[in-house]
A and B are shown apart, each in its own frame.
Chain A
């Protein structure tokens, strides 16, 4: 009974937060779709889904995400091999570099590709889906490289050696031994990448314009431009369903993952002649990562075909358009940092509690069932895209009872909910990996519950906790999907201002957007470099 009470006490905080800031917005959004104006009419949802425009959007979402996902895997797997199995100078630096696109704010990625098209005279790409797909690949390579790479790194080499000794060529060893062992992580990576591509928001909004819309951008357009809340809610509903199913499939594939039981980390090999194709692909991938970033940086230092710092000097000036309501980019950066700071501690607090709750061992059947239910509930935010969340915030949290519309904590809260699953995913495996007997040993030596947590759990978890904090901070800094709905016009965050700058005519504004993107990218890059220095395995992997 006491254990159940402790569990209830620990769970109360996260439950309240999720109740108000997740269940309420999402159910409000669902209500908008199915009970518009208080009448139960699910038919309206079907009407929206029957529109030809909806069909186009759905079809584009699926095929662009599918293609981008396949390309990402095709390029990412050889790169994972080179970066995690081979030995060469500068490997650590290269690995960190490959993580950069993933933490770049989506708006920045969008701008980098816009700039690339402009600078290299690739105008024919301007109005085609290829730029979107390339940006998706660019953005998600890190997921494949990290997820597959870390598994590959710790893969026991001996089954492969046994196969080679039996006469299997390297290619045959790869197909019959390595791939089956990596299958779990490959499926896992593929699912996550598909999910990220299908729910890509900032990239598509910047590159796709009105012509190419995914479900996410369509929800945004329907809400903010067309004010068709019912149609937006219908799409949210559909997306919620599909994303939840996908995540469930990913979870199942992880559960029955790789058959290799015991693992040890082999020392990486020298590069051999047979590795040439993988090295070539990796170089190609490196180019794909470097070129957009480089063209963004070059563009930010260019004014009228000459080198100049003018774009950066402009960052401290008031915008030239009244729509920007006289916001300095530097002020927006300060807003962003403040917001991200708040979002980080909320995400750490709630996510940390959730991680503790779901990883503690249950002693009775009731406790186990309760924990199972809580586990499922806390994973729900994973299934909801940032845009759905932002939309839900927009339509529910301005009611008289729960009025957070003007609270300065609204945006940090939304960002915290986006970052929280990352925190849980970084910390929970570490906590679960602690043998419960260690805690029992500490208790038998006279350590009280608090002392046990400090000397056993905290000792192991502080580094991953710090890494999770950095990761949450970087994600919050670049968060655009949810923030774009609820950002207050007098205190916009940097990604929102960049997007607004892009929408303004004039070379000045465009240059400022480029410079602001570089500033944002450098800030998140520095945070991620610090995270990488902590050397916590698996951060950024799925």
Chain B
């Protein structure tokens, strides 16, 4: 159990992290999500012991970490671009923490090949880091971090430097490896897909402050405000009369602020909303439309592809899928 209690970190006089309180239960993976410069990496570095706290405290299994230097915390840190030691082979990189702990040589060898198998790089031990691809380097960095079974794994945008396909695959692998090993992990990222793919719980940060935290479902279904909703990947946010109209159309009670995904509005002959198609574009899965909806303004919508697909300027009816919208700031 890691407890972050009212932690503030400043650079000069500028607060980078401002009174953040968070908890990570043992075995959980927490993703701290926020735009770049929101202080999430600073928070991670503070947990690692690389940034001094101005106030607040960080407890690990009940013990205060103040004054405990980085190398005595028993955590492991994995950076965006791996930060492998370029002058050492892949095997030596993975064995680094084992050598520090004077693990017998035979055991080290075993463990290294075990870890390289785990990350899908069996037999890569003799290679130089410079000869690996970006994805392979991240896998080695993960193996190196896991070598001594850290009580907390700190991941700083571990997948952000990779291209999309690789990121998706590695995110899945990462999730698998972390749950299998039962590793407690703190992940910081600006990419909500990465957070959803890897974490159990999520915390949103903005301008140094924590704005929301909870399980993935809680956060996803009830973003705390419009900005949080946009950041989580909702296509548009509606307020007031427009929000009420959408809720009514979806058959939901109440009013407030509503966040819509693009697929929340679907073209349907009997739909309660009406609008004029502004543009349409075919994607591999659906037909994506921009529709000027009466009383709501221009919004994204989807339609089934094929011959009957509506053209630009055509009037269409739309239905609202209640599963694909979120009521903001209300539980």
Contact = CB atoms under 8 A, between A and B. Distances in A.
- A and B are partners in one complex rather than unrelated chains: yes
Contacts of A166: 71, 76-77, 96-97, 100, 144-145, 147-148
Interface residues on B, range: 20 to 34
A180 B85 contact: yes
Q: Chain A interface mostly helix, strand, loop or mixed?
A: helix
Interface string B71-99: 11111111101011111000000001100
B87 A180 contact: yes
Contact of A167 (B48, B50, B74, B85): B74
Interface residues on A, range: 20 to 34
B71 A169 contact: yes
Interface string A162-184: 11111111101100110011000
A260 B130 CA distance: 10
A261 interface: yes
Contacts of B83: 156, 158-159, 161-162
Interface in A173-227: 173, 176-177, 180-181
Given A172-B100, A176-B96, A262-B81, A165 B71 contact: yes
A52 interface: no
A168 B71 contact: yes
B48 A159 contact: no
A449 interface: no
A259 interface: yes
Contacts of B84: 159
Interface string A258-274: 01111000010000000
B70 interface: yes
A165 B154 contact: yes
Nearest to A161: B50
Contact of B48 (A165, A168, A172): A165
Contacts of B144: 162, 166
Given A166-B96, A169-B71, A159 B76 contact: no
A420 to B, nearest CB: 35
B76 A261 contact: no
A208 B50 CA distance: 51
B86 A165 contact: no
B164 interface: no
B101 interface: yes
Nearest to A163: B96
Contacts of A159: 83-85
Interface string B314-330: 00000000000000000
B41 to A, nearest CB: 11
Contact of B70 (A161, A180, A260, A261): A161
Interface string B146-159: 01100000100000
A259 B48 contact: no
A165 B96 contact: no
A187 to B, nearest CB: 14
A31 to B, nearest CB: 47
Interface of B: 11, 45, 48-50, 69-79, 81, 83-87, 96-97, 100-101, 130, 141, 144-145, 147-148, 154
Given A161-B77, A162-B78, 18 more contacts: A158-B83, A162-B83, A164-B49, A164-B50, A164-B71, A165-B77, A166-B71, A166-B97, A166-B100, A166-B147, A167-B97, A168-B96, A168-B97, A169-B71, A172-B71, A180-B85, A180-B86, A181-B87
Interface of A: 156, 158-159, 161-170, 172-173, 176-177, 180-181, 259-262, 267
13 contacts: A161-B70, A162-B77, A162-B83, A162-B141, A165-B75, A166-B97, A166-B145, A167-B72, A168-B71, A172-B100, A176-B96, A181-B87, A261-B130
